[in-house]
Structure 1
Amino acid sequence: MKTKILVLTLLFFSGLLTAQDLTVGEAINKAGRQRMLTQKMTKCYLMIGLKSRVDQARTELDDAVALFEEQMLELQDYPAGNKTKKTLGEVYELWLSFRIKVVSSPNRLTAGILIDQANELLEKCDDVVTLLEKEAKLKSAKLVNMSGRQRMLSQRIALYYLAYAWKIPSESIYPELKGAREEFEKALKELVASGYNTSDITTKLNKVISQWEFSKHTFDVNNSKMMPSVITVTTNSILKQMNDITGLYAKVTDNQLTAKR
C-alpha cells in the first residue's frame, strides 16, 4: 500500500509536467481509456466475488485504479475547453465515492449498486470524450472515440457476464450484456469500413473480427455453459488489440491536425 501511495504521489507531480505535452489524439485516447477502466475495475470486483482468477483480478484492479488516477491528473491539466474542464471535475467527484466501493470486499447483494455507480462514472467519462472529439474538429477523431469505446465494451461484456454468473439480483443484467455485444459488433463493422484505415489498422481489425466471430457464441449466457475464466481471457485479449488500434487511430488524427496546420 505504501508503494502505491508513493507511486500515485510521483504520478501527480509527473502529470503536471507531462499533461501539457499530450496531443489531441492522445487526449481523446486517454479519456476514452477512462471509460474502459470503469468497467474493468467493476469486472475485477466481480471476479474476486466469484473467486475466479482472484490473484489476477486483484492485480488488475490495483493497476486499473492507479492508471485511472494517473490519466485523470493528465486530463485535468490538458488545455481543454471550459465545458470539458467542468465535466472532468464532475468525473473526479464521482470517482471519489466509486473508488472506495470498488476496492472494498465484494458483496453479491450490493454489487448492483457498484455497477450503477460504475455506469454513472462511465457516462460522465464518455461526455469528456465527446467534448474532446468536438474540440478536435476532425473526422478521424470520431474513430479514436469509437475504437476506444470498443475497449470499454470488451470489459462491459465481461462485467455483465460475470454479474449474470454471480446471480446478482437485477433484471437489467442480461439486457445490458446483450446490448453490449450488439453494439460491439455494429461498431466493429463501421471501423472496418472507414476510409481512414491504414494497412496496419486493417490487419489488426481483421484479427479482432476473427477472434470475435470465433468467440461471440460463448458470450450468450442462454446458449452456452457458464465459463467466467474463458470470458475474462477472451475479452482481455480483445481489449489489448483494440487498445493498439485506438493508438493507431490517435496517430492518424494527430497527422491530420499537423497537415491542417
Structure 2
Amino acid sequence: MNIIKKVLLLTTLFTLFAESTPTQKEIANIMNLAGKQRMLTQKMSKEALLIAKDINSKKNREELKRTITLFDTTLYALLDGDKTLKLPKTEDKKIRKRIKEVDNLWREFKPFINKIKEGKVNRNALKAIEMGNIPLLTGMNSIVKMYEKKYESALKKNRVKVINLAGRERMLSQKMTKELLLLANHLESHIYINSLKKGGFFFKDTLFKLMQDKKAMSNPHTKEEIQEIQKLWEEYQYHIVNTELSKDGLLVFNKKENNFIKEMTSKLISVATKLDKERYQNELKKSAKEFETILIGLIKGDSRLKVIKSKNKNIQKELSKVKDYWKEYKKIIINIDISNKGLNRAMQLNIPILELMDKTVKLYEKTAK
C-alpha cells in the first residue's frame, strides 16, 4: 500500500512539475502575447472611434476585424494553449480563473465592437465601448502581472519585467490615440444617465453624488452649475408639496414636472459630460507621462522601474526611432489637438510607434532565451 502511495505521489509531482515549467522560450512568448492583449483592447477601441469619426472607415473596419480575431484567438490560446501561437496551456489555477473573468468581460464587450465592425455605428455601441474597454484592459494587465510574478525567476535577470514594460508601451501608444478620439467624438456622459431616465425620484441621489465630488466642487464654475441644479430641485420639491390634488391642479403640475425634469436632466448631463472631458484630458496626459517615463527608462535604465539599460545595439536603435516619433506625437497629445489635421497626424504617428515597440519586444524576447 505504501509503495502504491509513493508511486502515485511521485507521478502526481512529476505531472505538476512538467505542467508548471514552460521553457524559457515559451515564457518569453507568454509575456509578449499576454502583454499584446492589453494593446489590442485599446487598438480595437481606437479603430471603433475612428470608424465613428468616418476616418478611413473601410480600412479601419478591416483592421478592426483582424484585431478582434487576434484578441479572441490569443485569449483562448493563453487559457488552453495553441500550437500555432506556440503557447502552452496555462495550468496555474489563479491565472486560469482570472483569464475566465476577462473572458466574461470580453463576451459583454464583443457584441458592441462587432456592431461597429459591421458598420452599424450608434451612440449606444460607442458608449459601451467607452465604458467597457478599461475594465478589459485592467483585467488583461492583471493577467500579465500574474504571469510576471510566476515567471520572474525563470528568465535572465529583469527580462520578464523589461518584456512587460516594453509591451506596455505598445498599449500606451494606442490608449493615447483612443483618448484623443474619445474627446473628438464628444460622447455624452454616461454618468448618472440610467438613474436620470428613471425619473424625478432619483434626482436627489444623483445630485448628492455630484455635490460629494470634491474635484467637481473645487471648480468654481462647475460648483455654480451644480448649485443651480440644487435650486431647481428645491423648487421642484416645493411644487410637489404645494400642488392642489384636483384634476386641474395635477394637470398643471404634470406639465411643470416634465419641464423641471427636462431642465434638470439637461443640466446634470451637461455637468457630467464636462467632468468626463476633464477626466479624459487628465487620463491622456497621465498616459503620455507614463509612456515617456518607460521609454526613457528602457533607453537609459531606471532603478525605480527596475530596468537595466540594454547593451543590445538593435534594441537601442529601435528605441531611438521610437523617441524620434514620440517628439512629434507628444505635442499632439499634450496640446490635445483634436482638429482633423491633428487626428490624422496622430493616426500616422501611432502605428509606426506601435510597430517599432512590437519589434523591440520581440528583440527583448530573443535576449531572454
User: 1:225: Cα distance to partner?
Assistant: 4.2
User: 1:144: Cα distance to partner?
Assistant: 0.7
Unaligned runs of 5+ in 2: 1-21, 81-88, 189-275, 302-307
1:164 matches 2:189:
no
Q: Deviations along 1:66-109, whole A, 9 cap, x unmatched? A: 10111112101223421111111111111111111112133346
Q: Is the contact made by 2:297 and 2:309 (CA closer than 8 Å) also made in structure 1?
A: no
1:118–1:82 distance in 2 versus 1, CA, 3 Å: same
User: 1:33: Cα distance to partner?
Assistant: 0.6
1:175–1:108 distance in 2 versus 1, CA, 3 Å: farther
Q: Which amino acid aligns with 1:46?
A: L
Larger-gyration structure (1/2): 2
1:223–1:90 distance in 2 versus 1, CA, 3 Å: closer
- How many angstroms apart in 1 are the aligned matches of 2:33 and 2:185? 31
Matching residue within 183, 192, 198 for 2:312: 198
Q: Is the contact made by 1:146 and 1:187 (CA closer than 8 Å) also made in structure 2?
A: yes
User: 1:242: Cα distance to partner?
Assistant: 0.4
* Residue of structure 1 in register with 2:353 after alignment: 238
- How many angstroms apart in 2 are the aligned matches of 1:223 and 1:58? 24
1:86 matches 2:89:
no
Unaligned runs of 5+ in 1: 1-19, 256-261
Q: Is the contact made by 1:50 and 1:166 (CA closer than 8 Å) also made in structure 2?
A: yes
Mean CA deviation greater in 104-113 or 166-175: 104-113
* Residue of structure 2 in register with 1:17 after alignment: none
Matching residue within 132, 137, 143 for 2:147: 132
Q: Is the contact made by 2:112 and 2:125 (CA closer than 8 Å) also made in structure 1?
A: no
- How many angstroms apart in 2 are the aligned matches of 1:131 and 1:80? 13
Q: Which amino acid aligns with 1:168?
A: L
Q: Deviations along 1:1-36, whole A, 9 cap, x unmatched? A: xxxxxxxxxxxxxxxxxxx88700000100001001
Q: Which amino acid aligns with 1:180?
A: S
* Residue of structure 1 in register with 2:67 after alignment: 64
User: What is the TM-score with the length of structure 2 in the denominator?
Assistant: 0.60
Matching residue within 288, 296, 304 for 1:189: 296
1:208 matches 2:322:
yes
User: 1:164: Cα distance to partner?
Assistant: 1.0
- How many angstroms apart in 1 are the aligned matches of 2:363 and 2:99? 25
User: What is the TM-score with the length of structure 1 in the denominator?
Assistant: 0.84
Percent sequence identity is 28
Q: Deviations along 1:85-141, whole A, 9 cap, x unmatched? A: 111111111111111111213334663432221100100000110011111124210
* Residue of structure 2 in register with 1:217 after alignment: 331
Q: Which amino acid aligns with 1:48?
A: I
Mean CA deviation greater in 146-155 or 166-175: 166-175
1:230–1:109 distance in 2 versus 1, CA, 3 Å: farther
Q: Which amino acid aligns with 2:44?
A: M
Q: Is the contact made by 1:157 and 1:177 (CA closer than 8 Å) also made in structure 2?
A: yes
Q: Is the contact made by 2:112 and 2:128 (CA closer than 8 Å) also made in structure 1?
A: no
Number of positions where the alignment pairs a residue of Structure 1 with one of Structure 2: 235
* Residue of structure 1 in register with 2:136 after alignment: 121
Query: Which structure 1 residue ranges, 4+ long, deviate > 6 Å from structure 2?
Result: none
The 5-angstrom pairing of residues 24-63 of structure 1 reads: 24-63=27-66
- Secondary structure of 2:55's aligned partner: coil
Q: Which amino acid aligns with 1:248?
A: L
Q: Which amino acid aligns with 2:148?
A: E
User: 1:239: Cα distance to partner?
Assistant: 0.4
- How many angstroms apart in 2 are the aligned matches of 1:55 and 1:150? 27
- Secondary structure of 1:23's aligned partner: helix
Aligned CA-pair RMSD: 1.9
Return the structure number with greater relative CO, CA threshold 8 A, min gap 6: 1
* Residue of structure 2 in register with 1:155 after alignment: 174
Matching residue within 280, 287, 293 for 1:180: 287
